[in-house]
Amino acid sequence: MPHSKVNIIPLLHNVYSQQRVVEVAKAAYGLGYGVFVVTKASGSAAQAGVPEAQKLALKLDKAFIYLPDLPDAVEVLKPDSVLLVLTRKYAPRPISEAVKNCTGKVVVVFGGAEPGLSKKELELGQAVHPDGVVEDVGSTGLAAISLYILRTLLDP
């Protein structure tokens, strides 16, 4: 199996919503990912969402990492690849195609606030979109669908 050497690490970046942190954490853990990372949380996401996600991780015996910013995560996690998930409008390459060329540790980044990720943040990796998603489904939807696609591709 060509993808068995891929270790996906979901990351939610630049988030303000407590609910969004918890929903994406639930999606990541529920789909079997062992680690979930949040960077640049502010407002209720930082005050309540991060602690709630940490509590969920502890309950499920999973790992939760909070770091100040996206470049910090890249520096600390040292991924072999970084995939930045956006809507099809901003990322012409499907996630299924991009992951074919990945090995090792792959950080998959989701923007936690509209419009998503900045131009500077996009320079940290490769912009991709979830296969089959035509219009904007929101950041929680993008994360859940993308993580599901990756799970089915990597663990058939």
Say yes or no to pLDDT of 1 above 70.
no
3-state secondary structure of 47: helix
Tell me which H or E stretch contains 84. Answer: strand 81-85
| pLDDT over 70, % of the chain | 96
pLDDT at 106: 97
Q: In the prediction, which pLDDT does 156 show?
A: 60
Confidence check: pLDDT of 4 > 80? no
60-109 residue pLDDT tens: 999 999 999 999 999 999 999 999 999 998 898 999 999 998 999 999 99
Tally Cβ neighbours within 10 Å of residue 152: 11
- For the segment 37-54, the average pLDDT, to the nearest whole number, is 97
Q: What is the CA radius of gyration of the chain?
A: 14
Distance set, CA 13 to CA 58, 60, 95, 155 (Å): 21, 22, 18, 26
Dihedral pair phi/psi, residue 117, rounded to 5°: -120, 145
What 3-state DSSP class applies to 115? coil
17-41 pLDDT, tens digit per residue, is 999 999 999 999 999 999 999 999 9
Asked if 114 and 87 count as a contact pair (C-beta separation under 8 A), the reply is no
Q: Name all domains of the chain by residue range, CATH numbers in brackets.
A: 6-154 (3.40.1280.10)
pLDDT band of 2, cuts 50, 70, 90: very low
